[in-house]
Amino acid sequence: MGRVPEGSETATIAVMGATGSGKSTFVNLVSGSSLRTSDSLHSCTEEVAVTEPFVVDSRKVVLVDTPGFDDTNKSDSDILKLIADFLTSSYKDGHTLTGLIFIHRISDHRMGGISLKNFRTFRKLCGEQTLRNVVIVTNMWSDVEPHLGEERERELATSDVFFKPALDQGTKLVRHDSSAGSALSIIRYILGNRPVVMQIQKELVDERKDISQTAAVGELERQLQEAKEAQRIEAERLRQEMEEAARVREEEERRQREEQARRRQEELARIEAERRRAEEQRQRERREWEHRMWVEEQERKAAAERQQRELEARIAEERRQREENERRRREEQARLERELAERMRIEEEARRHQEALEAQWRQAAEAAERERARQQREHEERMAEDHRIYQEALRVQRENAERWERELARRQQDDGGGCFIQ
Ligand SMILES: Nc1nc2c(ncn2[C@@H]2O[C@H](COP(=O)(O)OP(=O)(O)O)[C@@H](O)[C@H]2O)c(=O)[nH]1
Ligand SMILES: [Mg+2]
């Protein structure tokens, strides 16, 4: 590398490959640029990036960093359009590519889908005529056992599926050991080529095709179909797997159902045996109970009969007593009736006697009344007589008293006042 010479033709080299294969790192390493690189498989180069021109062996060189056809943010057709737009406009500006670098990680376990897809699209972009200007660069050798790397490299170079067809047509397969020296030697090798027109440039500019008619788009569509087919096959495989799994599951469920049915059957048999035992026990208890009931019934009957007999005896006794009482009562009644008749007779007699007595008494009373009235009269007459006599006596007495008083007074007069008692 060195100072950019005036007027010399610039060699443009495009770097392509899968995302994370190390394109930007390679470009930076050779050109001294500082394009963003990624630490993961998430892509950083989402646009086509062109380095500042730099000099290798007195040649002006620019490297074109491109996004891979597996960008996490852009579809494959968008990526293709980006690259095609760049190539078309630079071709129209009179620039052709001196070389194309396809980077492949030797550390990949095998050339899987993504790397292969990128390479196939890359090939359709380039066309058969430019394969002499193509260099396939294997990197990341430090990440793999040397013998394993060599084995993979051999497989890549000899398999028709991978790089062999391209190598057969002049493409070069080189190792890159991550050093600036190895990167530079790759650039130097490419600078020995004559610039070529890529197939897509011919198609789009010379043949004025629409991008949809280009071989690269055809390749992408084919890949899409392949992916769809693979997806369909995968879906079919999954469906078959699921069917198989469902069949196995059904078989397992059927087996489990049968097992459950068998267990249920056993359980039912056990329950039935249990039920039969319980039934026998119940029958036994029932017979015992019935026997007990029969014995109790017999005892109850005997007791009832005994009570009945006692009751009948008591009733007979009571009837006898009642009859005896009745007889006595009738006798008593007869006696009372006789007594009553006697008493009535006596009372009648007494009444008659009473009446007679009363009549006698009335007569006597009347007689007594008459007597009393007579005696009253006599008494009154006697009283009147007595009164008269009394009055007479009183009068006599009074006259006597008056006479005595007069006598006394006379005597006193006669005696000169001395006391005289008669
Ligand atoms: N070991 C090793 N790692 C590398 C090499 N080149 C790039 N890388 C790493 O690979 C990762 C992807 O690199 P990058 O240049 O961004 O890949 P791009 O997507 O192709 O541009 C980054 O972590 C780099 O540090 C290499 O030659 N050897
Ligand atoms: Mg990049």
For 235-259, write each residue's pLDDT tens digit: 898 889 888 888 888 899 899 999 9
Cα separation, 100 vs 190, in Å, equals 8
- For residue 226, report the distance from its CA to the centre of ligand 1, in Å: 29
Closest-lying ligand 1 atom to the alpha carbon of residue 39: 23
340-355 core/surface letters (b: 16 or more CB in 10 A; e: else): eeeeeeeeeeeeeeee
pLDDT of residue 45: 53
pLDDT of residue 113: 75
Cα separation, 375 vs 368, in Å, equals 10
pLDDT of residue 4: 45
Q: How much of the chain, in percent, has pLDDT values that exceed 90?
A: 42
* CA dihedral sign, ordered 71, 73, 78, 79: negative
pLDDT above 80: residue 416: no
pLDDT of residue 336: 78
pLDDT of residue 145: 92
> 186: pLDDT confidence band, cut at 50, 70 and 90?
very high
Average pLDDT over residues 286-296: 92
Cα separation, 113 vs 137, in Å, equals 18
Cα separation, 47 vs 281, in Å, equals 93
Highest mean pLDDT among 45-59, 131-145, 211-225: 131-145
Cα separation, 360 vs 393, in Å, equals 45
- For residue 173, report the distance from its CA to the centre of ligand 1, in Å: 19
CA dihedral defined by 410, 416, 417, 422, rounded to 10 degrees?
-50
Mutate to test the pocket of ligand 1, among 25, 69, 102 (most ligand atoms within 8 A of CB): 25
User: Is 71 within 8 Å of 46 (Cβ atoms)?
Assistant: yes
pLDDT above 60: residue 44: no
- For residue 166, report the distance from its CA to the centre of ligand 2, in Å: 24
pLDDT of residue 23: 93
pLDDT of residue 109: 75
Closest-lying ligand 1 atom to the alpha carbon of residue 176: 27
- Atom 7 in ligand 1: which residue has the minimum CA distance? 22
Average pLDDT over residues 203-210: 93
> 112: pLDDT confidence band, cut at 50, 70 and 90?
low
Range with the lowest mean pLDDT among 92-96, 198-202, 333-337? 333-337
Mutate to test the pocket of ligand 1, among 26, 29, 38 (most ligand atoms within 8 A of CB): 38
pLDDT of residue 166: 95
pLDDT of residue 326: 86
* Phi, psi of 41, rounded to the nearest 5 degrees: -85, 0
Closest-lying ligand 1 atom to the alpha carbon of residue 107: 1
Average pLDDT over residues 38-42: 58
* CA dihedral sign, ordered 12, 17, 23, 26: negative
- Atom 1 in ligand 1: which residue has the minimum CA distance? 140
- Atom 3 in ligand 1: which residue has the minimum CA distance? 140
The two three-digit tokens of residue 44, written as one number: 């950083």
- Atom 6 in ligand 1: which residue has the minimum CA distance? 22
Among candidates 43, 161, 173, which has minimal Cα distance to 113?
161
pLDDT above 90: residue 102: yes
User: How does the average pLDDT of the chain come out, rounded?
Assistant: 86
Q: What is the pLDDT of residues 57-98, one digit of tens each?
A: 989 999 999 998 877 777 888 888 888 999 999 999 888 999
Average pLDDT over residues 312-333: 87
- Atom 12 in ligand 1: which residue has the minimum CA distance? 20
- For residue 176, report the distance from its CA to the centre of ligand 1, in Å: 12
Closest-lying ligand 1 atom to the alpha carbon of residue 36: 16
> 417: pLDDT confidence band, cut at 50, 70 and 90?
low
Average pLDDT over residues 45-55: 87
- For residue 33, report the distance from its CA to the centre of ligand 1, in Å: 15
Closest-lying ligand 1 atom to the alpha carbon of residue 27: 15
Contacts of 88 (CB under 8 A, 6+ apart): 200, 201, 204, 205
- For residue 46, report the distance from its CA to the centre of ligand 2, in Å: 8
Q: What is the pLDDT of residues 124-172, one digit of tens each?
A: 888 888 999 999 999 999 999 999 999 999 999 999 989 999 999 999 9
Closest-lying ligand 1 atom to the alpha carbon of residue 23: 20
SS3 sequence of the chain: CCCCCCCCCEEEEEEEECCCCCHHHHHHHHHCCCCCCCCCCCCCCCCCEECCCEEECCEEEEEEECCCCCCCCCCHHHHHHHHHHHHHHHHHCCCCEEEEEEEEECCCCCCCHHHHHHHHHHHHHHCHHHHHHEEEEEECHHHCCHHHHHHHHHHHHHCCCCCHHHHHCCCEEEECCCCHHHHHHHHHHHHCCCCECCHHHHHHHHCCCCHHHCHHHHHHHHHHHHHHHHHHHHHHHHHHHHHHHHHHHHHHHHHHHHHHHHHHHHHHHHHHHHHHHHHHHHHHHHHHHHHHHHHHHHHHHHHHHHHHHHHHHHHHHHHHHHHHHHHHHHHHHHHHHHHHHHHHHHHHHHHHHHHHHHHHHHHHHHHHHHHHHHHHHHHHHHHHHHHHHHHHHHHHHHHHHHHHHHHHHHHHHHHCCCCCCC
From the CA of 102, the nearest ligand is 1
pLDDT above 80: residue 200: yes
Distances (CA, A) of 236 to 233, 239, 246, 414: 5, 5, 14, 204
- For residue 37, report the distance from its CA to the centre of ligand 2, in Å: 5
Does the predicted model carry a pTM greater than 0.95? no
User: Is 170 within 8 Å of 196 (Cβ atoms)?
Assistant: no
Which protein residues are within 6 Å of ligand 1, measured from CB? Answer: 17, 19-25, 37-39, 43-45, 139-140, 142-143, 178
Domains and CATH numbers, the chain: 10-213 (3.40.50.300)
- Atom 23 in ligand 1: which residue has the minimum CA distance? 39
pLDDT of residue 421: 45
Q: What is the pLDDT of residues 54-67, one digit of tens each?
A: 999 989 999 999 99
- Atom 9 in ligand 1: which residue has the minimum CA distance? 22
- Atom 8 in ligand 1: which residue has the minimum CA distance? 22
Closest-lying ligand 1 atom to the alpha carbon of residue 37: 16
- For residue 311, report the distance from its CA to the centre of ligand 2, in Å: 126
Range with the lowest mean pLDDT among 96-110, 132-146, 249-263, 375-389? 375-389
